[in-house]
Amino acid sequence: MTNVSGNFQAPTYLAQVEQWGLQEITLHSTRHYDNPFTEVQLRGHFRSGEQEVVAEGFYDGNQTWKVRLMPQIQGRWTFDTSSNDPELTMQSGSFDVGVPGPDNHGPVTVQGQYHFAYADGTPYFPLGTTIYNWLNRDEKLELRTLATLTNSPFNKVRFLIFPKYYLYNTVEPPLYPYPLIGERTLSPDRFSGELFANSVQSVEEAFDLSRFNPAFFAHIEARLRELQTLNIEAELILFHPYDSWGFSNMGAAHDEAYLQYVVARFAAFRNVWWTLANEYDLFGRFLGDRMKEEKNWDHLFQLVQKLDPYQHLRGIHNCFDWYDHSKPWVTHVVIQHQGKELYQVTLDAKKKYSKPVIVEEYGYEGSIPFEWGNRSAGEVVNLHWEVTMAGGYGSHGET
């Protein structure tokens, strides 16, 4: 095969981006790969004055690769690429980064030990709600959820990347994160009560885990942008145990490839927070040789820390046992606590870890016949008040 240099395509990107906005370098290669996700490495090197950012690229389908940047300083930036594909490597260009728009205060970071602020110094007081599966249900419900958020006071939402299978959530999602191999045996329409045990096929039988489905991730990105427009922070929950597909149970190599792909795609969105898992401690109880114990979570945490050029906030959500939040890769303490003494528990967590504390699950408002989702409005106000008076932050949810 001959490479005709005149045929190479120049990269495309915006000439002007705002500070903490999103720059995207799009590149093409005509080369054929059996698996472009695994065979091609691509990296962008971005520079402005003393600042250098190295960002991993990703394959977006359709012979297209992308590298994204969230520029943290204003001024002239230059970039070049490196890759094992001769058409993707040594591409370069420059662009200008200007003042942020009026509602753009940058990403949220820890401020004053126990609190939060945007990168420009504006204080940020989290008032979150929970919409675990909103992106993996039918589109009408998704738009109704977006409509509700548009008219709500919430400035943070928690949601899952992988689809959820649990009580009240037993449908197949419109899109899968990985390409299907052959026929998917559908999820049972009634939850058996056993976590992890609902998958009717092994994950490798149903999906090609060595490739991603770019449309699944592009869909999430469109909503990340809209949440940004609404000034809502997006807490992305990277793994969870409410599973009928096997995505909680892919093995270490696929977990790592997934995190790499997710961080390459999403880290440049300024409103992203990483939550390693929901109810992380359940992964160690029910799985066999693929269980994730605290040492595995340590490793995945560190991988995100290493991959993310912007050091977005990182936490992890428990069911029974708390993770050791004193570990250096944990930026803030996330607690599920539905027992008594919430004020004291919050206060103790602050003292123990010297980090901001968010009680993300003190019991959801609602009237279902389960302890986790039967709080009255009055109880919710009381619980939220206890957390707030202890100098923590509460997160809301409704069943």
Single residue of 35, 51, 92, 229 touching a second copy by CB under 8 A: 229
Integer CA distances (angstroms), 150 to 120, 128, 145, 228, 344, in order: 24, 14, 9, 11, 34
Strand partners for 336: 361
Stretch that binds a second copy, among 26-34, 76-84, 239-247, 329-337 (CB under 8 A): 26-34
Q: Does 35 bind a second copy (CB under 8 A)?
A: no
Q: Does 4 bind a second copy (CB under 8 A)?
A: yes
Binding string, 72-111, against a second copy, x = CB under 8 A?
-------------------------------x--------
Shorter beta-carbon distance to a second copy: residue 9 or 210: 9
Phi, psi (deg, nearest 5) at residue 101:
-65, 170
Near a second copy in 116-145, by CB under 8 A: 139-140, 143-144
* 16 contacts a second copy (rule: CB under 8 A): no
Distance CA 117, CA 180 (A): 42
Q: Which is nearer to a second copy, 3 or 376 (CB)?
A: 3
Measured CA to CA in angstroms, residue 224 lies from 117, 159, 220, 234, 292 at distances of: 20, 11, 6, 7, 28
* 329, burial (CB in 10 Å: exposed 0-12, middle 13-18, buried 19+): middle
Q: According to the binding rule CB under 8 A, does residue 61 interact with a second copy?
A: yes
CB neighbours of residue 350 within 10 Å = 18
Part of the chain binding a second copy (CB under 8 A), chosen from 27-35, 76-84, 190-198, 385-393 = 27-35
Select the residue interacting with a second copy from 54, 90, 147, 381 (CB under 8 A).
Answer: 147
Cα separation of 373 and 375, whole Å? 6
Using CB under 8 A, which of 18, 31, 111, 127 touches a second copy? 31
Q: Are 100 and 21 contacting, i.e. CB atoms less than 8 angstroms apart? A: yes
- Selected range binding a second copy among 1-9, 113-121, 204-212, 383-391, rule: CB under 8 A: 1-9
Place of tokens 């110094």: 121
Task: Rule CB under 8 A: choose which of 110, 117, 146, 291 binds a second copy.
Answer: 146
Q: How far is the CB of 272 from a second copy (least distance, A)?
A: 18
Among 1, 328, 340, 371, binds a second copy (CB under 8 A): 1
Provide Rg for the chain, Cα atoms.
Answer: 21
Looking at 18, 26, 201, 257, which residue binds a second copy (CB under 8 A)? 26
Assess 351 for contact with a second copy (CB under 8 A). no
Q: Helix, strand or coil for residue 186?
A: coil
- The pair of structure tokens assigned to 73 is 């300083």
Tokens of 343: 């004020």
Any contact of residue 113 with a second copy (CB under 8 A)? no
Residue whose entry in the numeric block shows the structure tokens 């009055």: 378
Give the phi and the psi of residue 301 in degrees, each rounded to 5: -55, -50
Region label for 79, one of left (φ > 0), alpha (ψ between -120 and 50) or beta (otherwise): beta
Interacting residues toward a second copy by CB under 8 A: 1-4, 6-9, 12, 26, 28, 30-32, 61-64, 103, 139-140, 143-144, 146-148, 150-151, 222, 226, 229-230
